[in-house]
Structure 1
């Protein structure tokens, strides 16, 4: 019959993976429990041989408390699975006498070795417990039990065997008659070992304490074995009465310990290799992510420079006309103080507009490292403001609808306002980079649709952003009429370097970095789908406050 394993784990994917691997190893899985209460109920129905226990569980009982109950009620071997390695947690877990620990994610080789080791240790512990219990439960048949015990028992006086049971004689390859009256020196490999053990044993016996040692001894045929030697004086004030000694052959246990030592060394080597591999992979991922971040920043900077070019085009034309008008007025003698004042005011207005554009660009590119409270509505409005000229020249309209207040803002000046009900705590510029990527993708999709003749050049493009308050989350939904994403590509749009744009029109890192920012940096989620007229991107962000 296959050894039975109960999995106690509240992560469904991980528990199913472990179950699959256990079945492949030849184990029988009695069930999967995601709480301590369910685990205790499952054990009551079908008793497993081993329990794989997650330390952190749902429900009233955590893994350590559940393991403690299992240990007290059923004495089933426990192997902990944990993502934690803090000393405090390990110390608490030790109190439940576990047979091993597995760090998540669970390595299959480590799992198999730990299970093998646990079965070895469990087998030995069960045998020892059974033998001890049997000895204690039949004390009323002392002579029969002692003579037929599975461990050696003897009465020794002045280092001679006065009485011994059959098992002790059997352990060393003698008969009882051979050893009775003999000096115990016959069982030691050397005179030195005999003298050393005798001196130490005498001191302990005289103090009335148990003398317990694991020593190497010899059989009648000269072969060596390991024994656990435990003795106590019948009367410590008079050692001449004698002492009782229990001798257990632990040769098999020593072999198991050597095997355990070897497997532990294998585990240590595997852990070392895994750590090195994980560290190498982590460094490579960091380098790759850093490269992608830089590429994403350069792409965002390119978009912003194009936005500035569009924003500046009109005020530069106006300034040019103002300069020409000054020259013409001077030539015709019409230049007076009133005209100069008007010209200066109009010029300063245009310069102020251009200066504000540059300031917005600088704020966007500023590398904010600390989280801050900011209004999602205002951040979106600022991005619309930066891109407004570019949208206008491409005949693309935009609107922002706040469903919290049931109001639509068609103009930048209106939606570029603070809103206390849509404030989150995060990195504002990273969020604005995500909005820039989404708006740019929508703009490019609309222009691409026009180029392919799927949309008249005179048809107006539309980009809509809807804002919702969902209890503990802010939901931002952006849609357009750019035709949508091909169904076969919709699951790949967030992959690194994947793009549906033509050669030279897209790097394929904008949406990837948007996903990294939203999910890893801001703890939210981003999802792509298709609506009636085009693509729909849904961003969900938690409301996190200082």
Structure 2
């Protein structure tokens, strides 16, 4: 057992309370007080803040043990273990609401008492560590500039959203928490939502999934999402992290359009150059034909050629004048 846990006894029978104190002393516990009624128990609990409260369910007075335990849990979050000689279903159902850390049925053995107290203290410490961890997570969650949401895996209702989400979507936390992802209608394409959810269920997480969204004022957005299944508040949830890439995608689209425009201009200019080149080749061929015709006429007149021999580009072996392509 933990070193000398401080325990408050709430028992309206003096003999039982005294016997319980002796047993606890022998187990190494420190009994810091004993209260015969619910009212007295609340006073001592607030003053002493014990590590654990042993509470008899049936107490004399205006408050029974269950009502007293409920006040103790609400005010100070102290762990309560019930002592009772009755275990009927109605009583147990009422007791469950107060989130007790254990039950001890009278009469009980010292070993049973020791085990229940140890388990209750361990559970309380574990819950304390978990609460601190969740508080740290909550602070980081809210302070993060990245869009983040926590959604229940069971019914896909929003449990928590951070301030970045509010700024991004235009929805306040109060408008979103408790609503389902379908009811809020953030996803522009419900099919993308279902595909992402199926991927999450199948693989346990997903990374860098692009999806389209609508803000509260119907402004379109594109986000890159990553999600995984976590434990939060005692239930399985979906933690989603989103990066707004609307501006990036818009810039990429503009660059793509500009590139397409440049490529089209290159095609047009290339076609113009090819047409011009073909026209120039045609003119050159016509000049050659005219020169050849003049030279033939000169030959008929027994005159020397008016032009030096010319060569054609398409003549086999065509090259410099005087070569195989010489005319």
What is the TM-score normalised by the length of structure 2?
0.47
Question: Which structure has the larger Rg over C-alpha atoms?
Answer: 2
Which one scores higher on RCO, CA 8 angstroms, separation ≥ 6? 2
What is the TM-score normalised by the length of structure 1?
0.29
